[in-house]
Chain A
């Protein structure tokens, strides 16, 4: 039921004797939040519709024998709510004990140890005896480790269905469902196939919403430690834009605090031979993709080539790529052929960088720190070998990096700031905004507009506000006027752009394109809500507020940088001069562009 069903009037209830005034339609949980009363929850999540199945949040209503779930019960005038009676506490204890009895509670060997919501509840309620019978031996639980990105451990599932709701509502992928019933009820994929054998896009949003260790990222921490310890190997690391505004949350900072300098220092202390920046290849992507877009526009508008596919869409989100490969394989021609910044970086590290530093690429191990779990899948794609070697060897999420920093005994709060290493470590503000939804679009416009008209985009301080924001689907139209002579075919063209984040919104836009209702030229698609800053590898918990703060941090980082347009990045200028020659040239096509794979719909 929509939250604003009865919006308008206010009503009064009491919680533990204190009067609270709430909007009509608010739930008891909302009211408690207002009143400063904490009611524990498990299946409830701000991003998702209300389920009301875990029964942890039950409260007592005066005059009623049965307890009510706070998250699913709307307030009514005069309601008297009691959240801390003996009945409520004893019931809640029972619920937690029941959950623990069907749960593999071997916490010390669990990846989520210390970060598990069930564990926290058990600790809060001091569940120190388990009198109930252990149900695990009766269940034949399995662990699915086939996916390069996600591990699904059914023995830890509490059936809150957050992952099902996430995959269905938030992402529109529907890789997971509740199956069977009764004691056999569990969360599965289609016919219980492995995650990498179904339509899962690896976006990791399920991981972000799972309260326990049932869904976690496949971690490569030990592999990275081993690589660093191997003296024969030269280990290079790249960091994505979103990591620097999220990492702090795992290490003592508030959401929205930028820790770029400290992050670089920490990476150097961990022992990486070179610490460089994905933002560099983000700038590079703008050069390549901007050129590609303008070329397509010329071919479509001037040459009237019927084979040119418009709209062109971005291709830096591997979750989005797998999504379109499964769901709309007939539109693969609309994707930009550009690789993502991560993969461009990987290909260049073992060619351009190796040459410049006089290293044998066979001894380079290329590691990336990403806010993303799909990047682990992307690095594993069979075509990502253009350097002659595996372009990106190991992908770590923001969460894994934080674990390594802690394991290394680094006191992050006390770290001094450092700078990225040269050659592929310089970036502009346009590169860093890739982390927010609308960022790729804004970066592309800053460069493309100037390329075509010779002038900066007509927005104050280069902040193209129409493409920013949190609405799931946004549109912006930029009128191109007074072009330079060679771009005169674009004179007067109204460039129609769209931005979508969260795969459910991607589906809506793609369906519009399919039905002929849409007439965009360029669309930015991000698989995750909020863009990469809300990615499947970012610190937990996640919520709209946290993502908003990370976004503010990204735009602040952009505003504070000396260079804010990708084409002005001196290292980008250098790589074209010394190595690539020109955007979408032969060298670029070999290393920086890719092909896609149509996949089945299930």
Chain B
């Protein structure tokens, strides 16, 4: 994994150093690091010559730009009405049970974080969730076991980039 300063410089070279380049750069850092640390926000501010508070204010607006440390695989389970009607709670319980974490927490080994999200646009195949950028639909507690096991095995095989 690239050191953050290098990553930010590359992203700025790619997207530009204007104010309107900010969001793609933030997304690029989150893609690699899974969250925006204080340090990375300060570096981005410096690279784009904008105030650090503006970076913070903008980043914290967007749900997918986490600013607290996250695990490698961020699970986002949809909690909007259709998924909620079709068994989201059971899915949540299954994940919490298997990973031994609650919503908002990260596993000890840093492999998974569990969050909720709003409508993913997969309502006809509810309940649905995202893990990083991957979509999983028609979920059942059994499927959850399968999916999470797959991610755990990927880690053992040394694959860290799971998108």
Contact = CB atoms under 8 A, between A and B. Distances in A.
Interface stretch (A177-185, A487-495, A524-532): A177-185
Interface string B34-60: 000010011001100001111011001
Interface string B41-85: 110011000011110110011000001000000000000000000
B60 A602 contact: no
B47 to A, nearest CB: 12
B57 A177 contact: yes
A601 interface: yes
Closest CB pairs A-B (n = 4): A177-B57, A174-B51, A602-B52, A177-B53
A174 B51 CA distance: 6
Contact of B56 (A168, A190, A601): A190
A174 B50 CA distance: 9
B61 A602 contact: no
Chain B, interface size category, equals 10 to 19
A199 B61 CA distance: 21
Nearest to B61: A181
Contacts of B45: 601-602
Interface of A: 168, 174-181, 188-191, 198-199, 601-602
The majority secondary structure among interface residues of chain B is: helix
Given A601-B46, A602-B45, A189 B61 contact: no
Nearest to A193: B38
B60 A174 contact: no
Nearest to B37: A191
B56 A179 contact: yes
B52 A601 contact: yes
Most chain A C-beta atoms within 10 Å of own C-beta, residue among B41, B45, B60: B60
A175 B61 contact: no
A179 B60 CA distance: 6
A177 B56 contact: yes
B42 A180 contact: no
Nearest to A176: B53
A177 B54 contact: yes
Contacts of B57: 177-179, 188
Contact of A180 (B46, B54, B61): B61
A198 B60 CA distance: 18
A190 B53 contact: yes
A602 B54 CA distance: 11
Nearest to A327: B51
Contacts of A199: 51-53
A174 B54 contact: yes
B8 to A, nearest CB: 15
Contacts of B52: 190, 199, 601-602
Scoring B45, B56, B67 by chain A CB atoms within 10 A of each residue's CB, the highest score goes to B56
Q: Among A178, A180, A188, A602, which residue has the most Cβ atoms of chain B within 10 A? A: A602
Contacts of B38: 190-191
A180 B60 contact: yes
A473 B110 CA distance: 54
Nearest to A602: B52
